[in-house]
Chains A and B, each alone.
Chain A
Amino acid sequence: MPSLIDIRRRIRSVKNTQQITKAMKMVSAAKLRRAQERALASRPYANMMARVLANLAAASQNNESVSDLPLLQSREEKRIQLIVVSSDRGLAGAFNSNLLRMVQRFIEEHRGAEIQVETIGRKARDYFRKRNYNVTGEHIGAVERPSYELAREIGDKLIRLYRNSEVDAVYIASNHFKNVMSPNLVLSKILPVEMPEAEKQQDNNPPQALDYIFEQPVEELLRALLPRYVEMEIYRTMLESNSAEHAARMTAMDTATNNAGDVIQNLTLNMNRVRQASITREIIEIVSGAAALS
């Protein structure tokens, strides 16, 4: 039976922890809001990009010089480049472990291929380093403030690798933000680029392809646009992962705060019971002492 003082000490310590988790939850909520604002701000560009690309795709059907563009050509996937976007810090529930489990499964499914990993976030780096994977690059401190600059840097590198046939496919794995409760694991291929389908109109309206004037040949426009598209995908993934991370941490910290509350309640109950027991014991001692005297 722990003594009264021990229990009191325990309660104080749990209360401290609860205060920390509560504060972390509020910080995460604020950061989540900011991350979402950033994600929202990047959306117009992404939408416009998708539109332009779809239009170019429609205009370039059966155009051989377009299908010859290196970034659109798929090859047998013998060497795969993976980009894993994790968080830098822990205490975010199953955020990183779910992600890494998914990536591990992917790697096992592609046993025949040679796999190299580029990590964004400390957790992914630690994981792949410890297991002696071929880590081509690591970016720490990047997810907290995702910058387009970094996305461009990584995009440049990947495109160079792909063009030189040093890798045959590039996949990116991350958590996407769906809602606060459930993050969404996503693993998608970013190279070779899969051209989006031309926008399909509603049923009886046949798609009206505008007759665009192209100031530059279509393949030239695509050659300049596709790298942007890849960069944007990476940037967007970083933003999504950042939102998802804060959401996951917020939920984890909320649960932790609630659990701490439960623990405190149990301990308090226990403490009162112990105190009551000691008082009862003392009364019995006094009474029996008095009885012995008489």
Chain B
Amino acid sequence: MADTFQLQVATPERLVVDEQVTEAEVPGQNGYLGILPGHAPLMTALNPGVLTYQGGGGPHVLAIMGGFAEISENHVRVLADGAETPEEIQIDRARRQLEEASHKLHDAKDPAEVEIAMRALQQAQARIDATGRSSSSLSAR
């Protein structure tokens, strides 16, 4: 069995990642999913969260804004609504966003509003987590 698999992460605007990796973790809707080579075919919706993978140049982190993942025959395809590398994330903005979203969640009246606020909150949290994870993984080495 191959010891790597192909990971592709694409957003509507660009292909973010396309490389051979040894392991990956994606933010599935029912919880984080660890993927190793030879994983069974699977399809899942993704929540906003942090995607990590072990590629050629060590561990990598991406903030994902929700989407889908399809696992098949040593090929993982992630359809992300948005994907940002830690370098692209403006942490101050993400913090502000988080604060705004939690206010909105607090004031939300109907379920639709709650859902929108919830999503914004998760996205902001994903950005913050991604920057946190990448700096901690760098300092650990």
Q: Could you tell me which A residues sit within 8 Å of B by CB distance?
A: 38, 41-42, 44-45, 48-49, 51-52, 55-56, 148, 151, 210-216, 220-221, 224-225, 228, 231-232, 235
**Is B125 an interface residue when CB atoms closer than 8 A count as contact?**
no
Q: A49-B79, A51-B77 are in contact. Are A232 and B12 (CB under 8 A)?
A: yes
List B contacts of A151 (CB < 8 A).
Answer: 12
> Do B12 and A215 have beta carbons less than 8 Å apart?
no
| Residues of B in contact, count (CB < 8 Å) | 25
Q: Is the CB–CB distance between A213 and B41 below 8 Å? A: yes
Q: When the two chains form their complex, are residues A48 and B40 in contact, meaning their CB atoms are under 8 A apart?
A: no
The reply to whether A212 and B79 form a contact with Cβ atoms under 8 Å apart is: no
**21 A-B residue pairings within 8 Å (CB atoms):** A41-B15, A44-B8, A44-B15, A45-B11, A45-B13, A48-B10, A48-B77, A51-B77, A55-B43, A55-B70, A148-B11, A210-B73, A211-B41, A213-B42, A214-B42, A215-B29, A215-B30, A215-B44, A216-B45, A228-B81, A232-B12
Nearest opposing residue in chain B for A210, CB measure = B41
A220 touches B77 (CB 8 A): no
Contacts of A231 in B (CB 8 A): 12
CB within 8 A of A52: which of B11, B13, B43? B43
CA distance A232 to B68 in the complex (A): 14
B contact patch SS:
strand
B28: interface (CB < 8 Å):
yes
B68–A221 contact, CB under 8 A? Answer: yes
Query: Quick one: given A42-B14, A45-B10, A52-B77, are A213 and B68 in contact (CB under 8 Å)?
Result: no
Q: A52-B68, A214-B43 are in contact. List 12 more A-B contacts (CB 8 A).
A: A42-B14, A45-B10, A45-B13, A51-B70, A56-B43, A212-B43, A213-B40, A213-B41, A215-B42, A215-B45, A225-B68, A228-B81
B136 → chain A, closest Cβ, in Å? Answer: 28
Shortest distance between the CB of B114 and any CB in chain A (Å): 17
B72 lies within 8 A of chain A by Cβ: yes
Which residues on the B side are within 8 Å of A225 (C-beta)?
68
- How many angstroms between the C-alpha atoms of A215 and B15 in the bound complex? 25
Per the bound structure, the CA–CA distance linking A235 and B81 in Å amounts to 13
| A232 surroundings in chain B (CB, below 8 A) | 12
Question: For residue A220, which residues in chain B have a CB less than 8 angstroms away from its CB?
Answer: 45
B13 and A42: CB pair below 8 A? Answer: yes
Contacts of A221 in B (CB 8 A): 43-45, 68
A52 to chain B, nearest CB (A): 5
Which residues of chain B in 52-90 are interfacial with respect to chain A, using CB atoms and an 8 Å cutoff? 67-68, 70, 72-73, 77, 79, 81
In the complex, how many angstroms separate the beta carbon of B120 from the nearest chain A beta carbon? 14
- B1-20 toward A: CB 8 Å interface, digit per residue (1/0)? 00000001011111100100
* A212 CA to B71 CA, complexed, in Å: 8
Chain A residues contacting B81 (CB-CB under 8 Å) are: 228
**Nearest CB to that of A146 among chain B residues?**
B13
Closest 10 CB pairs of A and B: A215-B44, A45-B10, A210-B41, A44-B15, A213-B42, A44-B10, A41-B14, A148-B12, A212-B41, A48-B77
